[in-house]
Chain A
C-alpha cells in the first residue's frame, strides 16, 4: 500500500472508488509513513489514528472517499482547537467543525494529521513555530515556506497527496513555491472559511489547497469551494507581465525559469504576452499588511499584551506590541489603496487574462538565517516574498503558484499566475498548460526524501 501513497490525490481517490485500493490500508500506510519520514521534516504536529479511523468508517461516497489529507493548524477540528503554531492565540479558540473540516468530511476524506505552521501565521518561511520549525523536504536545512509550512512539507515528502492551508498574505503560495508544489489562493469568499478564528472579520484570508499538481488542486479546491471547478484549455491566453523594480528584483535563475515558463505557457496556449504597468505595488503590499494587522488585533488590549505567553517568540511578541502603534490613518489609507488597486486590476483584466510573475524572488533560504540575496541587496525572505503576494489578498483576486524549475542547488522555483475575480478555474487551466508545456517535468520532480525507499511496513 506504500505505492498508493505515491499516487496523486485523484489517483488515490480513483483507486479506492474502483476497489483497487483499500482505504483502511492506505490510512495505515499514511500513518506509518508519517512515523518514518516526519521526524526529518516536522510537517505533521499531531496525528489521531482513532479519530481518523472514525472519519473513514463514516466516510460518505464522496470525491475523496478514504483519501488521507493533512489540515493546517489554523483550523479547529471537533476534537482539537487550532494552536496557530503558537503557544497561545490572541483570540479564544475551541474545538469545532470548521468549514474546511466539514468540506473534507463531506467529501469522504480522512484527516490524518495536523500540519505545522509559522507562529501566528506571521511569516513566509515556516522557521518559527511552537512545535519547532517545519523543514523543507528538498533540503531539510532550508525553510519550507510559510505560513502553511507543514501542509506543504507533508505533501512534498509524500506523507499525503493533498493538504489544506490558509493564505492571508501568500501563506499557501510561498510554501507551495519553496516545496515544489502547486498551491491555489482562491478568490476571496469562494473557499470554505467557517470556523476560522478570524472568519468574521478578515477581508484577506482564504483556505486553499496544496498538492503536487493543478489537477489535484482542482479536485481538492472543488471540495473546499463546494462546487466543481470545471476544466478548460486556456486557449489564446493573454498573459500580462510586469517589468518594474520589484518584479525584476529576483535572482537570475528565478528570472530565467519564470521567463521560460511564461514563454512556454504562451506557446502552449497559442496566446500572447503583453507588457503591463501596475504602479504602486509597494503601497499595495503595505496596505495589505496594515489591513491584516488591524483585523488580527481586533479585541487585543494593552493589558492582554502585557501578559502574553512567555513561550511566544521574541520576534512575535515585539511585533505584536509594535503593531499597536501603527497609525489608524495609515489603515484608513490602506482601504483607499485597496479601492485604487481593485480598479486598476479590473481595467488590466480587460486586456489580459492572467498576470504572471515569480512567486518567490529566490529559492528557499536556510532555516537558521532566512535571508535572500537579490539584485537590490540582502533582504529577509519575509520582506522579499510578500511583495509579490499581497496584491491578491488585498484585492480579492485568485492566484496560483506553479513549479517551473529547480535552482543549481536543486531547490524549487515557482511562477505565480493571477486572474480576475472568480476565474480560479482559468488559473488551474493555465497551470495545467504550464505542466503540459514542460512535460510535467517539475510537478513530477520529487525531493530526495520522497524518493527514499520506504522502510515502513
Chain B
C-alpha cells in the first residue's frame, strides 16, 4: 500500500490542526513512522469485532 501521499497530507494537516510545530527532520521521521503505522492501523480498524462483548475495566491480573 502506497501511503506516501497520505503522509504528505495527513501529517502536516494533523499537526497544524493541533498546533504542533514540526521542522523538516520531524516531518521526515514522521513520514517513515506513518508508513509503518498507518497500514496496520487501517487493518486494525477494519477488524470486525462487532459481535464481541467488550470486557469492561478488565482485571489484567486474571483470566477474563
Q: How far is the CA of A249 from the CA of B31 in the complex (A)?
A: 26
CB < 8 Å neighbour of A280 from B33, B41, B47: B47
State the Cβ distance, B39 to closest chain A Cβ, in Å: 10
Q: Does A108 lie at the interface of the complex (its beta carbon under 8 Å from any beta carbon of B)?
A: no
Q: How far is the CA of A326 from the CA of B55 in the complex (A)?
A: 23
State the Cβ distance, B64 to closest chain A Cβ, in Å: 5
CB < 8 Å neighbour of B44 from A188, A337, A343, A383: A337
- Report B6-64 residues with CB < 8 Å from chain A CB: 10-11, 14-15, 18-22, 25-30, 33-34, 36-37, 40-41, 43-45, 47, 49, 52-55, 58-64
User: Judging by beta carbons under 8 Å apart, are A396 and B29 in contact?
Assistant: no
CB < 8 Å neighbour of A314 from B26, B47, B52, B53: B26
Q: Does A15 lie at the interface of the complex (its beta carbon under 8 Å from any beta carbon of B)?
A: no
Mostly, the A contact residues are helix
User: Judging by beta carbons under 8 Å apart, are A421 and B61 in contact?
Assistant: yes
Instruction: Point out the residues of chain B lying under 8 angstroms from A280, CB to CB.
Output: 47
Q: How far is the CA of A396 from the CA of B11 in the complex (A)?
A: 33
Tell me the nearest residue of chain B to A342, going by C-beta.
Answer: B64
Q: How far is the CA of A386 from the CA of B30 in the complex (A)?
A: 19
Tell me the nearest residue of chain A to B10, going by C-beta.
Answer: A325
CB < 8 Å neighbour of B26 from A286, A317, A327: A317
Contacts A282-B40, A325-B10, A337-B47 known; A318 to B61 CB distance under 8 Å?
Answer: no
Instruction: Point out the residues of chain B lying under 8 angstroms from A211, CB to CB.
Output: none
Instruction: Point out the residues of chain B lying under 8 angstroms from A318, CB to CB.
Output: 22, 25-30, 33
User: Judging by beta carbons under 8 Å apart, are B37 and A203 in contact?
Assistant: no
Instruction: Point out the residues of chain B lying under 8 angstroms from A319, CB to CB.
Output: 29-30, 33
State the Cβ distance, A253 to closest chain B Cβ, in Å: 27
Instruction: Point out the residues of chain A lying under 8 angstroms from B29, CB to CB.
Output: 314-315, 317-319, 322
User: Judging by beta carbons under 8 Å apart, are B41 and A330 in contact?
Assistant: yes
User: Judging by beta carbons under 8 Å apart, are B11 and A395 in contact?
Assistant: no
CB < 8 Å neighbour of A335 from B37, B43, B45, B54: B54
User: Judging by beta carbons under 8 Å apart, are A325 and B41 in contact?
Assistant: no
Number of interface residues of B (CB under 8 A): 37
Residue from A187, A190, A421 with most neighbouring chain B CB atoms (10 Å): A421
Contacts A318-B22, A336-B49, A336-B52 known; A396 to B33 CB distance under 8 Å?
Answer: no
Number of interface residues of A (CB under 8 A): 47
Contacts A282-B40, A318-B26 known; A325 to B15 CB distance under 8 Å?
Answer: yes
CB < 8 Å neighbour of B21 from A287, A306, A345, A421: A306
Contacts A329-B45, A336-B54 known; A324 to B20 CB distance under 8 Å?
Answer: yes
Q: Does A94 lie at the interface of the complex (its beta carbon under 8 Å from any beta carbon of B)?
A: no
User: Judging by beta carbons under 8 Å apart, are A189 and B54 in contact?
Assistant: no
User: Judging by beta carbons under 8 Å apart, are B45 and A333 in contact?
Assistant: yes
Q: How far is the CA of A334 from the CA of B18 in the complex (A)?
A: 23
User: Judging by beta carbons under 8 Å apart, are A396 and B60 in contact?
Assistant: yes
Instruction: Point out the residues of chain B lying under 8 angstroms from A314, CB to CB.
Output: 25-26, 29
State the Cβ distance, A300 to closest chain B Cβ, in Å: 11
State the Cβ distance, A218 to closest chain B Cβ, in Å: 19
User: Judging by beta carbons under 8 Å apart, are B44 and A339 in contact?
Assistant: no
CB < 8 Å neighbour of A421 from B19, B53, B55, B63: B63
Tell me the nearest residue of chain A to B19, going by C-beta.
Answer: A302
Contacts A317-B26, A322-B30, A324-B20 known; A343 to B43 CB distance under 8 Å?
Answer: no
User: Judging by beta carbons under 8 Å apart, are A342 and B61 in contact?
Assistant: no
CB < 8 Å neighbour of B58 from A315, A334, A338: A338
Instruction: Point out the residues of chain B lying under 8 angstroms from A231, CB to CB.
Output: none
Q: How far is the CA of A199 from the CA of B52 in the complex (A)?
A: 29
Tell me the nearest residue of chain B to A203, going by C-beta.
Answer: B60
Q: How far is the CA of A325 from the CA of B15 in the complex (A)?
A: 7
Q: How far is the CA of A321 from the CA of B15 in the complex (A)?
A: 8
Q: Does A235 lie at the interface of the complex (its beta carbon under 8 Å from any beta carbon of B)?
A: no
A-B CB contact pairs (8 Å), 14 listed: A286-B44, A302-B20, A306-B19, A314-B29, A319-B29, A319-B30, A324-B14, A325-B11, A330-B41, A335-B54, A336-B52, A345-B63, A346-B63, A422-B61
List of 3 A-B pairs having minimum Cβ-Cβ separation, nearest first: A396-B60, A318-B29, A189-B61
User: Chain A interface (Cβ within 8 Å of chain B)?
Assistant: 187-190, 203, 280, 282-283, 286-287, 290, 302-303, 305-306, 314-315, 317-319, 321-322, 324-327, 329-330, 333-340, 342-343, 345-346, 349, 383, 395-396, 420-422
User: Chain B interface (Cβ within 8 Å of chain A)?
Assistant: 10-11, 14-15, 18-22, 25-30, 33-34, 36-37, 40-41, 43-45, 47, 49, 52-55, 58-64
Q: A283-B43, A321-B26 are in contact. List 15 more A-B contacts (CB 8 A).
A: A189-B59, A189-B61, A314-B25, A318-B33, A322-B29, A325-B10, A333-B47, A337-B49, A338-B58, A339-B52, A342-B58, A346-B63, A396-B58, A420-B63, A421-B61
